[in-house]
Structure 1
Amino acid sequence: MENELIRIFDALTGFAWTTLPEGCVGLINKRWCEYTGLSIEEAKRQAWRSAVHPDDFPTLLQGWRTMVASGKPGELEVRMRHCDGDYRRLLFRMSPLMDPSGRVVKWRGINSDIEERRRAEGTARLGEPNLSVIIDSIPFPVAVTTPSGEVRDLNQPTLDYFGKSLDELKGLKVCNLTHPEDRPGILAAQSKARETGFAYSVQSRHRRYDGTYRWFNLAGMPVRDARGYIFCWLHLLIDIDDRTRRGDVPSTAERDLSSIINTIPALAWSARTDGSGEFFNQHYLDYVGLSAKQANEWGLTVALHPDDVHDLTAWWQLVMASQTPGETEARLRRFDGEYRWFLFRVNPLRNASGNIIKWYGISIDIDDRKRAEENLRLSEAFLAEGQRTSLTGSFSWSLDTDVIVFSEELYRIFEFEPGTAVTLERIADRIHPDDILLLSDKKADARSTGADHDYEIRLLMPGGAVKYVHVVSHSTRGRCGQREYIGALQDVTQRRVSEETLGALRSELARMAKVNSLGALTASIAHEVNQPLSGVITNASTCLRMLAADPPNVQGALETARRTIRDGHRASDVITRVRSLFSKKDSIAERVNLNEAAKEVIALTQSTLKNSRVMLRTEFSDDLPPVTGDRVQLQQVILNLLLNATEAVSGVDDRPRQVMIRTEEDGGDFVRLTVRDSGVGFRPEVANKMFETFFTTKSSGMGIGLSISQSIVERHHGRLQAATNEGPGATFWFSIPRACSNGAESNRAVATAMPHGIDATSTTGNP
C-alpha cells in the first residue's frame, strides 16, 4: 500500500488517499490531514464525510458508485472544508489499481485545489446572464434547489401563487404546499431523479394563496456546470388545471420540457427513440448558426467535424442499444467556421413503465480544458524528458513531518526501487562515508536557519560505484504553514570523471613539457657537469703522481684531494638541481626567494645562453620579500619564460640579442618577476590565444609551456601576462602574493590551491 501511495505523492500539492474496492479508507497522506484538520484515524472512522460540503455529498457518492461499477478512472468537483472552516472547491481524480487478472484491488485518488481557478472562471463569466435573471424571465412558477433539495431561489410568479415571501417559502417544505394525496408521488420522483441525475415529470396539485388546489405539471431537470456536474435543479410548475378538468391532460410534458431546455444557458437538445433529432434549444442554434428547421432536417451531424462523424455515430448507436446514459467527446463547428471540442452527455427519459420515450442531451464546450490538459501533458513530458536528459531530479522534504517526495529521475540516481518510501535513513545509507558529516551539517542547518543550499556530495552505490551529485534547494512554507525544502539534484559524475581524466592528462603533458625542456638544456647540463668532472679526473691524476714521488708530496696530495671533493660537489649540485626540476613529485609549500630561484635557473641555462650568444642582464631587488609556494614549480615558470626569450632572440642578427630578468615589489602585496627580450615579439591578434593549450607560433613547439605556466601562477593566486614592447621584442611577467607574516596561514592557503596528490604542473582549465 505504501508503495502505491508514494507514487501519488509525486503530485507535490495534492491530497492523496487510497481505498479498498468496497470503499473502506486505506491510506491518507498528511497533506490531506493538514488540509482538513482530521487525523488518519478519524478519516478511517468515516469522519471524512464531515469534510465534504453537504450539498456536494450526493454528487460525490453518485460519482463514486458510477466509477466503482465501471472500474474506470474518473473525476469530480466537490467542495471540502478547510481546517479553518472555509469550503474550497477540489478536483477529485480517482483511478483503479488492478492485479494481473484485471480485478480491482484498490482505488487511488488525489484531490487538487481548484478554487482560485474556478473563481477566475466565474469572474470571466460575469457578463453572462445569471440563473436568477433567467428564471425571473419565465412567466410561470420556477424553483431552484440545491442537489440535496434545499430551496435556493424562487421567481416572482412562484411567490405570487403561494402568497409568501422567499424566506417564508424557504422555511417550508415543498410537500407542505402539495395536496396530501400527491405528496408520495412527488417525493418518490424527486428522490429517484436526485439518485440517477435524470429529469422527472409528475402531475400534482398545489395549494394557492387562497387555499385552492390547482393541477400542475411539475417538471424537474438537473442543471450541470461546464464539467457536467449537477450544481442545481430547476423545478417548473405548468398550470394544467383547466385542461385537466376538461379531460385534456397531456400524456407527456413534451412542450413543458421543451420550454425548460430552451431556457437553460447551454447547448441542449432532445432526440426521438429512433435517434433522430427532435429539438435544439436556442443556444445550440445560435452556436452552430442554423435555424430550427435546418437543425431538425439535417440533424446533429451537420455541424460535426468530418473526422468525428463516424465515431460519434457509432457511440450514439451503442448508447441507444444499451439504453443507459453516456458521454463522449467530439468537435463541433461554430457559426464562424471554427471547430471546438465538446463533451456530449445524453440521458434517457422514461415513462412510468420504465420505457424510454425520449433522449435528452447537453453539449459542453471543453476546448479550453483540452488545450490546457494537452499543454500540461506536454509540460510534464518536457519536464520528465529534461530531467532524464540533464540527469536532474527534483524532491521535497517536509521539516515538520520528514516526509520526502522523489521524482522519477531521483529514484534512478539513488538506485531506489521506483515508488518505494524515501526516508532520511535510506538517503543516509547511500551517502559516501566521508561525506556523512556534510549531510548532517546540511540537515541541521536546514532545521535551524532555513538557509538555501548549494553543494556537492558523493553517493556510494551498493555495487561500490561512487556518484557525484550537485544539490540545490530552498526553503518555503506550505498552505498550512508547514516548513519544507524544494530542490533539485543533478548527477555530475560524468563531468567529475572527465575533469579528473583531463587533470591527469594535463599533468602528464606538463611532465612531458619538462622533459622536452630538458632536451633544450642537455648541452648546458653536459657543459656544467663536464667541467667539474674534468677537474675531478685531473686532480685525481695529480694526487696519484704526488703520492708516487720519492719522497711523496703528502701536503700537495691533500690539497689536490680537497679540490677533487670540491669539483665532485659541484657536479652533484648540478645533478640535484636538474633532478628536482624535472622530477614528478607532490607540490611543497615553502617560503621562496624569487631572486635565489631565478639565479639557480640562470646557472642551469648558462651554456644555452652562451651558445645562443644571448646577453643576459639581471635587475634583482635587494630587499625583495619572499613568496609562499612550490619552489620547483616557480622555477619551471622562470625556466620556461627564459627559454622562450632565448628562442625569440636566437634568430636576430641586426641588433644585440638581449634578455633581461627583473624582480620587484608589485603594489606592496605582490612580488613580480619580469622577463624582457629584444626578439621577434608577437602579433597583437594572437595575444588572447598565447596561453591556450596547444597554441604555438613555433614550428616545433607543443603549445603547452605557457598554458602550464599560467596554471601554476594561478594556483599561487597570481597572474601571468604578456605584452609587446614599444621597440622590438616582448615582455612576459607574473605576479604572486608575498608571503604572510604568519607562515602557517600562508602555507595553508597554498596547500588549498594545490591539493595533495595532484602533480605540481596539473591545470584546472584554460584561462
Structure 2
Amino acid sequence: MIKPDLHQGWKKPHWIAYAMAVLSVLAAIIIAELMSRLLHAEPSALLMLLCAIILVAWLGGLGPALLAVALALLAFHYYLVPPINTFAWKHNVFAVAAPQLPRLVLFGVALLFIAFVISAQRKATENLRRASDELQAAIEDQKRTETALLRSEMYLTEAQRLSRTGSFGWNVASGEIIWSEQTFRIFQCDRATKPTLQFVFQRTHPDDRAAVQDIVQQASSKGSDFDHEYRLAMPDGSVKYVHAVARAERDASGSFKFVGAITDVTAAKEAERKLRRSETYLAETQRLSHTSSWAWDVRRREFVYRSLEAYPLFDLDSDGDTVSTQPFEERVFPEDRRRIIELVPRAIRDKTDFEVDFRVALSDGSTKRIHSVGHPVVNSDGDVVEFIGTHVDVTEQCEAKEKLQRAFDEIKKSEDRLRLVIDTIPTLVWRAGPEGVPDFLNEPALYYTGLSLDQAETGWPRAFHPDDKKGMLQKWTAIRETGTRGGLEARLRRFDGEYRWFLFEAEPLRDEAGNIVKWYGSATDIEDLKQTEVALRESQQRFRDYAETASDWLWETGPDHRVTRISEHVSAIGIVPSHITGLARWDIAADVDSEPEKWRQHRAMHDAHQPFRDFVYRAVSASGSPVYVRSSGKPFFDASGNFLGYRGTGTDITATIRADHAEEALRSAQAELAHVTRVTTLGELTTSIAHEVNQPLAAVIANAEACLRWLDHETPNLAGARRSAEWVIDDGNRASEVIRRVRALAKKTDIEKVSLDLNSVVKEVITLVQRELSNHSVSLRKELAPTLPMILGDRVQLQQVIINLMMNGIEAMEPVRDRPRELVIRSGQDETRRVFVSVTDCGVGISAENASRLFNAFFTTKSSGLGMGLSICRSIVEAHGGRLSACCNEGPGATFQFVLPLHQEDAL
C-alpha cells in the first residue's frame, strides 16, 4: 500500500499558493519595518524578502515563487526610493538613484536563481518521496508474495501429512536426492539424515530389495518413468507398504532428473487384507447359517451375482451356469413360483422391499423351505435397476414353528395341566384384562397376599405399600398405554402385614389383529437384592466419607499415566488440582533430574503395570516451597483384561522429611560435639599421653646406646647389638601405636563399625588415662573377663565412652580424703549374653534429685563442666544398639555400666 503524500495539494498552482506568495512578501515587509522602528536594528528587508521567496518556492512551487519574486522586486525598489531603507510613505515612487540600479538588478537575479533552485529541489524531493513510496509498495508486494508462497508450502506440507504422501527429487548425474518433510516421516528418519539410494535400499524389505534395485537401475539408465509398490523394514521391526511414482525429465545437459511422490499405503493394504478376511468370514458365515446372497438385474432379467452358498441351498452343482435362472426356477414348487412371479413386478413398480417364503424340491425327494428378502437399487433417474437380497434356509425354523404351534395347541387343550404348572412355580403369577384390572392370581400369589380369587380385582391393588401405590399406578398406566413389555418395582404386603420388595413384569398377549386381549405378568421377590443394594450404597457412602475426611488424597491416571481425576485434598499442600490434571507424575515432580535412577525404575514399574507403594518424590507448591509426597498405587483393568490406568493415594510427608533432616542435622551436631569432647579430653590427658610417649622414646635411646656399646667392643658383639636393635624397633612401634591411638581420638571421622574385642578397647583406654590415675592418687583394679565374644562397633567412639566414664569416676573421688581412692573397671556378659563394661568409683555418689537428670544434655554437677559428656556417651551407646545406665553403690560411690549386643556371627 502506498502511503499518502502530504504535499500532493501543492503539485499544481492554486490560488492558495499565489495568495501565500502575496502574504509572504507582505509579512516580510511588515517584519522589516517593525524591526527598524521598534528595535532600532539595522534594516533587514533584503533578508526578510529572501526568506519569503524561499518559503513560497518550497511550499508553492515555481509559479507562486515567480509572483513572489515580482512583488519582492517592487518592494525592494520601493525600499530604495528616498528616503531609502524604510517602507514609510514616499511621494516619488519611481525616483531611484543610478547607483541603486545594480543592486536592484543583482537582487532580482538572486531571487530568480533561488526560486528556480528551491523549486527544482522541491520537485526532486517529491520525486524521491514518490520513488520511495513505490519502492515500499514493491517491498510489501514481495512480502505478500513470500507469505502466500510460505502459506502454499504449509498447505502442501499439511496435505502431504494428511494423505501420507511425500515428494522427492532425484538428479541421476549428481546423485543428489531431495525429500519433503513427509518423506522423512515415511522413512522414519530425521532431517539430518542425508537421503541416498543406499539408504533407500537399506530401508527396503529384504524380499523387495532386488526388485527395487532393478527398477531404479532401469529408470536411471533409460530415463523412463516408474510406478511400483514395495515394503519398508522399519527400525522398530514393523513393515510399511509404500507406493512410489516418478516422472523423468531431461535437463539442458542431457542428464535425467526424476520428480515423484511416495505414499504410505500401509493402511490401504491392511484394509484390503481385512476386506478379504471379511469376505472369507462372510462366506463361512453364510455356509454355517445356510444363507446366500444374490443380485438380480431388472433390465436383463437375470441374476448377475450369486454367492457360492446359493448352489447347495438349491441342491445344485456350483460348477454349473452361474447366471442362468432356469435350474433355480425348476427347483421351486410351481405354485410358489407363480406367487414369486406376481410379487417381483409389484415390488419393481412400488420400488419397495419384498419378502417371500417358498419351497424347493430337492433331488432326494425332500422339501426345503427358503425365506427370500429383496431390496431395490434405484438409479439417478428413479428407476429400479437391480434387486439385491438373501436366501435363508428356514426349514428348521418352520418345522420348529409347526412343532411349537402343535405344542401350543396341546397346551390350550390341557389348560388344567397349565394351571397346575402355574400354581406350582415359586413366582407370583397374575393376569389382567386389556384395561389392566387383575382377574387371575396363581396359588403362591393368593397365599402370599392372603386374598381369595374373587378378591383379586379389588384386593390386589390395595396390597401395595401406600408410599408406592401412586407411583406404581402411574408406571402401570404408562406400560398399558405403550402396549409393550415393561416392569416396575414396589413393596407388596404379605398376609401377616410385612412388606417386601417385588419386581413386577408384564407382557401383552395380542390377537391376530394386533389388539391386546390379556396382560400376563409375574412378581419376583427382590427384598434380598434391595437389602444388598442398600448395603452397597451404605458401603459406598462409608468409603466416600472416609475419603473426604482422610488427610490423604485420591488420584487416578489413564493408560498414558496422565492424571484424570484427583481429589480436592491435594489443595491442602498448595497444589491446585486443575493444574496437574493431564500431567504425569514425572511432569509434576521437581527431583526427576536430580534422581534419574529412581524415576527410571518407577516408570519401568508403570510400563510393566505393577503396583507400587510408598514412592516418595518432591514437588513444588503454588507458593514455590518444596513439598514431599508419598504415593502408592495399583493398576486396574477392564473385564477383558485391558489396562485402563492406575488408582492410588497421595500423602503429604513434608513434615516427616523435614523432621528427618532435622534429626540428621542433630546427629551431625552431636558428632561435632562428640569430636570436641574427645579433643577436650585429650587436652586433659596431655600429661598421661606425654608420659606414654616418653617411656618408649627413653627406652629407644637407652637401647640404641647399648647397641653402640656392643659395636664399640674390640670384638663387636653382634648378637648383643642385634638384640638391642630389636628392642629399639619394639619401643618405636610402641610409641607409634600410642600416637596412632591419640590421632584416632582427635581425628574427626564418621562412625565406622567393625568387629571388636571390648577388652582390648578397655586396655587401650587404661594406657591413656594411666597418668591421670597416678596424679590423682587413684588405684585401678581390672576385673576383665578372660574371653569375650566379639561386638560390632566403632573403636574410637567406644574409647571416648570409656574415657569419659573413667575421668568422671576420677573426678568424683577428688573430695575423698578418709579412704583409699579405688576405681574398678569390669567386663563380662549379662544374663542375656550381651557384653557389658562397668566403671565403679568410691566417690561422692549420685544424689536422688540428680539421678533422673543425669543423662540430660547440659546438666552437670561440676562447676567447669558443660553437661554434654554423659549425654554424648548415651547417644554413642544407643547408636550401637546398647544401653547406658548408672546406679548408686551399696557403699560409697556410683557405678556406670553400658551393655552392647553381640556381633551377629557370634550371636548364632
Q: Please indicate the TM-score interval, normalised by the length of the shorter structure.
A: 0.3 to 0.5
- Structure having the higher Rg: 2
Q: TM-score, normalised by structure 2?
A: 0.35
TM-score of the pair, normalised by structure 1: 0.41
Higher RCO (CA < 8 A, seq sep 6+): 1
